[in-house]
Amino acid sequence: MKNPSSAAQIVPEAHASARPVLLAADDQPHILDALELMLEPEGFRVEKARSPIMVLEALKSGSYDALLIDLNYTRDTTSGDEGLDLLSQIKSTDPQIPVIVMTAWASVDVAVEAMRRGAQDFIQKPWDNARLLSILRTQIELQLAVRRAQRLEAENRILRAEGLPAMIATAPAMQPVLDTIARIGPSDANVLITGEHGTGKEVVAQTLHAISARAPRSLVAVNTGALPEGTFESELFGHVKGAFTDARTERIGRFELADGGTLFLDEIANIPPRQQAKLLRVLETGELERVGSSKTRHVDVRVLSATNADLHAEAEAGRFRADLLFRLNTVEIHIPPLRERREDIPPLAAHFLTRYAQRYRKQVSGLDPSAVQTLLAYNWPGNVRELDHTLERAVLMARGPHIEAADLGLNTTRTSTPSLDEMSLESVESILIRKALSRSAGNVSQAADALGLSRGALYRRMEKYGIQATHSG
């Protein structure tokens, strides 16, 4: 074996703070020792296996940046069949992991077959140290580039296209919220954000992430209340190919997508009890397994969660785990409803007006004083989200440069119940949902069955209309 390269040590980008881990497999201990002595000073951490079975067992419990495997073991010593079979099993388990094969009996046919089965390169014993180092570093860098591309692709599918919304809060009732955001935003503390539907809990989560050290990484949001129980684990933790009937490809879960960044769990109170235990384990240990895999993965995620429910009351009633609540609310931020921060209504309305005038290319530049008075007089049961939708409609309905009170579609004086002929489809749907929830004593699952909807579809409609659930059922 030749002397190692005298070139400066190169550590792959993603391992700036952790050495790349290599699994080396050979039935001869002195070969493994030689690889360890050569590679450890070059910045690698080498784990050793002396048989194909040991390699497969190691892959079940650990994560590796590359594998360096011999093609000949004790069953026979020249054909390479045992190593080729091992290579096929490795690639069926993890198609993306770089595998470099080595043998003392070089053969063009064996090399071609190894490459056909997925090997990235081929080394002959005795190896050239400089070439082996170059191959390992190149393959690990390529693999990291593939992982980065996959992560970006997955993030682009999930993250919202629009940028961060403005944090508009001038009312005295919002001052404690702003003060708390300023104090704990730069930290890694988990935060529970509470408030009625539509108060702006997601905006607070986005602001907390934006002023933290994790801002360069992703903020991944997931509405846990809309996830069917059967896909909950797959969405949050990911799955491997073949884990269940529809698992045709490997999937990265939301926790892994948020690794190094922030995960926002909306509607956290609606997580079923069985899934609460699994979420608690990840929060406590930072460890998870994809569905269908026994390999433990480590993630570094800051968790922001939101709910309109009283989680303390839910915990006392036994519907929400108290230990999970403690993990989620290192700090709790409560957002007051819009009716308690009326000073913010005019600037919020102006903000939404500008957004929708640009979106729909309407020459609308302001609000008539009568429209402002109407906005201030309304009670806003749907909070900021309802104000947003109201201004969108008003911009579309406006006939002149200013929005009139009639354009808003609000009636602050009506006391009688409108007839069906006077009601919109959305109003009728909202009433039917409220009645179904009332008949089921607030049990969302029962109400969904009565309406012929899935649990997730009902939650989405409840969120749309600002309807709160007493319990998920």
- Give the confidence band of 349 by pLDDT, cuts at 50, 70, 90: very high
Whether 11 has a pLDDT exceeding 70, the answer reads no
- Give the confidence band of 417 by pLDDT, cuts at 50, 70, 90: very low
Which residue did the predictor score with more confidence, 238 or 425?
238
Q: Mean pLDDT throughout 364-385?
A: 90
Q: What is the pLDDT of residue 158?
A: 40
Whether 82 has a pLDDT exceeding 50, the answer reads yes
Q: Report percent pLDDT > 90 for the chain.
A: 36
The mean-pLDDT minimum among 2-6, 46-50, 160-164, 360-364 falls in 2-6
The architecture (CATH level 2) of 420-465 comes to Orthogonal Bundle (1.10)
| Contact between 165 and 205 (Cβ < 8 Å) | no
Q: What is the pLDDT of residue 8?
A: 30
Q: In residues, how long is the chain?
A: 473
The mean-pLDDT minimum among 205-209, 312-316, 364-368, 442-446 falls in 442-446
How far apart CA 201 and CA 177 sit, in angstroms, is: 11
Three-state DSSP string of 416-468 = CCCCHHHCCHHHHHHHHHHHHHHHCCCEHHHHHHHHCCCHHHHHHHHHHHCCC
Q: What is the pLDDT of residue 453?
A: 84
> Is the torsion defined by CA of 418, 423, 428, 434 positive or negative?
negative
Which residue did the predictor score with more confidence, 289 or 159?
289
Per CATH, the number for 172-336 is: 3.40.50.300
What are the domain boundaries of the chain?
13-151, 172-336, 339-408, 420-465
How far apart CA 353 and CA 336 sit, in angstroms, is: 23
Q: What is the pLDDT of residue 227?
A: 81
Q: Mean pLDDT throughout 362-389?
A: 91
Q: What is the DSSP letter of 292?
A: T
CA dihedral 73, 75, 76, 81 (to 10 degrees): -70
Which residue did the predictor score with more confidence, 306 or 10?
306
The answer for 25, left when phi > 0, alpha when psi is -120 to 50, beta otherwise, is beta
CATH topology of domain 339-408: Helicase, Ruva Protein; domain 3 (1.10.8)
Whether 357 has a pLDDT exceeding 90, the answer reads yes
Q: Mean of the per-residue pLDDT values for the chain? A: 82
Burial class (CB in 10 A: 0-12, 13-18, 19+), 376: middle
**Half-sphere exposure (Cβ direction) of 58: Cα atoms closer than 13 Å:** 23
Buried b (16+ CB within 10 A) or exposed e, 6-27: eeeeebbebbeeebbbbbbbbb
Fold agreement between 13-151 and 172-336: yes
Neighbouring-strand partners of residue 158: none
Look at strands 99-103 and 191-194 and give their pairing.
unpaired
Whether 12 has a pLDDT exceeding 80, the answer reads no
Q: Mean pLDDT throughout 377-402?
A: 93
Whether 448 has a pLDDT exceeding 60, the answer reads yes
Whether 166 has a pLDDT exceeding 80, the answer reads no
The architecture (CATH level 2) of 13-151 comes to 3-Layer(aba) Sandwich (3.40)
What pTM, to 2 d.p., does this model score?
0.58
Q: Mean pLDDT throughout 159-173?
A: 65
Q: Please, which residues have CB within 8 angstroms of residue 200's CB and are 6 or more apart in sequence?
A: 335, 383, 384
Look at strands 262-266 and 219-223 and give their pairing.
parallel
Q: What is the pLDDT of residue 163?
A: 46
| Residue the block writes with tokens 């006077």 | 422
Question: Each residue of 95-137: pLDDT tens digit?
Answer: 778 999 887 665 667 777 888 888 888 888 888 899 999 999 8
